[in-house]
C-alpha cells in the first residue's frame, strides 16, 4: 500500500505498512482503527459451509488509496462496499483482502466496509499448530489464538485492535450456537435457528468465538457473577462435580484480582476431546476429556477463568508481552491451590523452579520470539516472576498492585513497561534488578 496526501499519522522514516507486530508480520493492518464488527453468519453443520456478511465500522488514521483486512483464502469474497458504495475494487490474495475505495477517505474519516463471503472454513496453519475454525464430530468450534480469526471473518487480526461485536449465527435447529456476549435474540424458522449475541466490551479478534454443538445450556450456581454451562446431556453429572468449585474460584479471584470484568461467564464442554482448553472473552471451552469426574483438570479451570482478567480485559498490545497473559494465569493456578486447601504458592514455585533448572536457559521472558511465545517456560517463569515480586514487596502490596492493574487498564491493551511502572508505586525499594533478572536475562535466577 502507498501513503498518499499530506495528512498522515505515520511518523517520518517509518514505512506506512511495515508489520504492526514482528511476531505476526502478515497479520494486522495499518491505516484504520476498527470500532465495531457486525457479523451475520449462516452455517450448515454437515457440509461445513459458512456464508457471512461482515459489516465493519472503522476510523481512518491516515490518507491512503487502499486498505487491507485479514481473511483466509478458504473464504471466497463475492461483494465489497465502502461507505455504502459498491464501486469499491478489491483483491483477495495470500490471506489479505485489499480494498480500494472509489474515493479517498480523509484521515479521521469513517470507513464502513461490508464484505459478503462464503466457503468451507478450515484452520489456518501456523508455527503453533492449526488455529481458527475447526469441525467437531457434531458441530464446530473456534480456537483462534493468536492469528486464527481470519479463518472465519474479515478483520484486523491483531490484539491491539479491540472492538465491540454483534454476532448473528443461523444454523441447523438441533444445534445450540453460542458466541461472545449477551444473547439478545433467538428465533427459529423452519429447520434453522438464528442466535444473536451482543459483545459491548472491547474485544480482540482472536478472542471472538462461535461454538456450535448438541449442547444444553443452564445456569449454574455462581454467586454474584452469573455462570452458565453448555455441554452434551451425558456430561452433566461429571460437569457438576468437576466444575462444582468454580463459583468459589470466582469469589477468590475477585478478592485477589478485583471485580470480574464482564457481565457473566460461560463454560462450554465439547463432545470431542481437546488437547488444551480454549480461551475466549466471557467464555472458556474444554474438551470432554477435561470433564473426567475426578476434577483432574481443575488447575486448567482456574487458568482459563483467570484469563478473563489477564488476556481478555487486559490484552497485550504486542505479542512479545505474552507473559502478561500466561504467567498471570499460571500464577492464578497456584493461588487457587493456596486458597482451596492445596499446596501453597511457595510449594508450586519451588517445584516449577526445579523443573526449569533442568531445561535450556535460552529464553527471554520479556521478548521470547514468536517460536517460543507459547513455550511452557513462559508460563512457569512468568508465574515465578510474579511470586518473586510478591515475596519482595509483601502480600498486601502485591495484591493491591494486581487489583490496581486490573482496574486501571480494564478493557484496554497493556505492556510490560506499564506493569513494571505501576509496580514501582507499590514498592519501597527499587525493582530494576528484579525485572532485569526475570524478564531480560536468560539465566534462571535463584528463588
Q: Which sequence positions are flagged as catalytic? A: 304, 379
Q: Map residue 403 onto helix, strand or coil.
A: helix
Query: Does the annotation list 303 as a binding residue?
Result: yes
**Per-residue exposure over 215-228, b if at least 16 CB sit within 10 Å of its own CB, e if not:** beeeebebeebebb
Residue 279 grid cell: 480461551
Q: Output helix, strand, coil percentages for the chain, rounded to the nearest 5.
A: 30, 35, 40
Distance of alpha carbon 300 from alpha carbon 303, whole angstroms: 5
Distance of alpha carbon 76 from alpha carbon 68, whole angstroms: 15
Backbone angles phi, psi at 298, to 5 degrees: -65, -30
Distance of alpha carbon 407 from alpha carbon 415, whole angstroms: 15
Query: What are the DSSP calls for 67-91, one per residue?
Result: EEEE--TTEEEEEEEETTBTT-EEE
Are the beta carbons of 300 and 284 closer than 8 angstroms? no
Beta-ladder partners of 51? 42, 118
Please classify residue 358 by burial: count the beta carbons closer than 10 Å to its beta carbon, then call 0-12 exposed, 13-18 middle and 19+ buried: exposed
For residue 248, what are the CA distances in angstroms to 221, 245, 339, 406?
10, 5, 10, 20
- Which DSSP state fits 370? G
Are the beta carbons of 417 and 432 closer than 8 angstroms? no
N-terminal to C-terminal alpha carbon distance within the chain? 50
Query: Does the annotation list 326 as a binding residue?
Result: yes
For residue 316, what are the CA distances in angstroms to 161, 326, 334, 398?
10, 11, 22, 21
Query: Does the annotation list 307 as a binding residue?
Result: yes
Kindly report the length of the chain.
447
**Binding site for Zn(2+): what residues are annotated?**
303, 307, 326
**Binding site: what residues are annotated?**
303, 307, 326
Amino acid at each position: 500500500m502507498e501513503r498518499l496526501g499530506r495528512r498522515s499519522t505515520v511518523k517520518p522514516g517509518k514505512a506506512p505498512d511495515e508489520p504492526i507486530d514482528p511476531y505476526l508480520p502478515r497479520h494486522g493492518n495499518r491505516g484504520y482503527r476498527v470500532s465495531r464488527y457486525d457479523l451475520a453468519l449462516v452455517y450448515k453443520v454437515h457440509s461445513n459451509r459458512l456464508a457471512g456478511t461482515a459489516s465493519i465500522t472503522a476510523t481512518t488514521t491516515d490518507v491512503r488509496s487502499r486498505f487491507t483486512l485479514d481473511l483466509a483464502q478458504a473464504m471466497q469474497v463475492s461483494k465489497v462496499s465502502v461507505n455504502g458504495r459498491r464501486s469499491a475494487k478489491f483483491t483477495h490474495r495470500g490471506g489479505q483482502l485489499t480494498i480500494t475505495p472509489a474515493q479517498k477517505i480523509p484521515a479521521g474519516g469513517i470507513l464502513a466496509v461490508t464484505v459478503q463471503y462464503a466457503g468451507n472454513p478450515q484452520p489456518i496453519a501456523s508455527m503453533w499448530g492449526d488455529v481458527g475454525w475447526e469441525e467437531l464430530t457434531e458441530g464446530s468450534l473456534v480456537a483462534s489464538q493468536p492469528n486464527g480469526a481470519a479463518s472465519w471473518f474479515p478483520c484486523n487480526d491483531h490484539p491491539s485492535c479491540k472492538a465491540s461485536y454483534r454476532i448473528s449465527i443461523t444454523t441447523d435447529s438441533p444445534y445450540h450456537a453460542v458466541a461472545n456476549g449477551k444473547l439478545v435474540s433467538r428465533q427459529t424458522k423452519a429447520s434453522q435457528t438464528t442466535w444473536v449475541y451482543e459483545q459491548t466490551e472491547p474485544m480482540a479478534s482472536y478472542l471472538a468465538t462461535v461454538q456450535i454443538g448438541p449442547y444444553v445450556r443452564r445456569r449454574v450456581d455462581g454467586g454474584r457473577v452469573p455462570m452458565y454451562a453448555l455441554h452434551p446431556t451425558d456430561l452433566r453429572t461429571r460437569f457438576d462435580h468437576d466444575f462444582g468449585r468454580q463459583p468459589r474460584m470466582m469469589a477468590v479471584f475477585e478478592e485477589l484480582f478485583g471485580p470480574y470484568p464482564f457481565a457473566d461467564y460461560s463454560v462450554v464442554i465439547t463432545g470431542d476431546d481437546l488437547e488444551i482448553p480454549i480461551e475466549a472473552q466471557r467464555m472458556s471451552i474444554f474438551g470432554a476429556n477435561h470433564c473426567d469426574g475426578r476434577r483432574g483438570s481443575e488447575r486448567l479451570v482456574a487458568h482459563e477463568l483467570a484469563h478473563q482478567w489477564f488476556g481478555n480485559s487486559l490484552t497485550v498490545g504486542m505479542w512479545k508481552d505474552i507473559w502478561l497473559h500466561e504467567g498471570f494465569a499460571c500464577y492464578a493456578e497456584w493461588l487457587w491451590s493456596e486458597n482451596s486447601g492445596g499446596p501453597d504458592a511457595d510449594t508450586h514455585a519451588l517445584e516449577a523452579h526445579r523443573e526449569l533448572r533442568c531445561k535450556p536457559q535460552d529464553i527471554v521472558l520479556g521478548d521470547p520470539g514468536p517460536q517460543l511465545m507459547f513455550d511452557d517456560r513462559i508460563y512457569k517463569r512468568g508465574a515465578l516472576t510474579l511470586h518473586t515480586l510478591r515475596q519482595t514487596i509483601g502480600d498486601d502490596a502485591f495484591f493491591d498492585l494486581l487489583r490496581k492493574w486490573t482496574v486501571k487498564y480494564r478493557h484496554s491493551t497493556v505492556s510490560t513497561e506499564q506493569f513494571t511502572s505501576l509496580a514501582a508505586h507499590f514498592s519501597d525499594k527499587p525493582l530494576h534488578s528484579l525485572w532485569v533478572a526475570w524478564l531480560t536475562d536468560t539465566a534462571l535466577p535463584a528463588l
